[in-house]
Amino acid sequence: MGNSGRDLRKLRQAAMAGDHSAARALLKLYRYDEIAREIKPNHPFTNRVRRMVGVLTAGTGAGDEPGPWEARNERTGEIESDILEDPPSRRVRPRAPILEE
């Protein structure tokens, strides 16, 4: 996971704390752009946003302590999630099927 894993964990922690920009960035990373558009400044999260942020931050611990679904990688010392996958790459997009006659 490297350095981006630490940044992703901090982003998850900020989104859990109610940071609107962190929640929007997290949702966009996982390609939930439609739900991310529901986040409005100075307004509470909608139910859809709150639920999806909960899904994307499940088991994330506070600070430097691993959460219930996290473990410390013995080789790198980083905290990694046991259940959450890395976000999909933005570069890889499914191509439209080519219809041949």
Model confidence over 37-50: pLDDT tens digits?
A: 999 999 999 999 99
Name residues of the chain where pLDDT drops below 50: 1-3
Q: What is the distance between the alpha carbons of residues 96 and 94, in angstroms, rounded to a whole number?
A: 7
Q: Where are the beta strands (DSSP E) in 2-91?
A: 70-72, 79-81
pLDDT attached to residue 4: 64
Instruction: Specify the pLDDT at position 2.
Output: 40
The 10 Å CB-count burial string (b at 16+, else e) for 24-47 is: bebbebbebeebbebbeeeeebee
Q: What is the pTM of this model?
A: 0.80
| pLDDT value for 93 | 60
Round to whole Å and give the CA distance between 30 and 89.
9
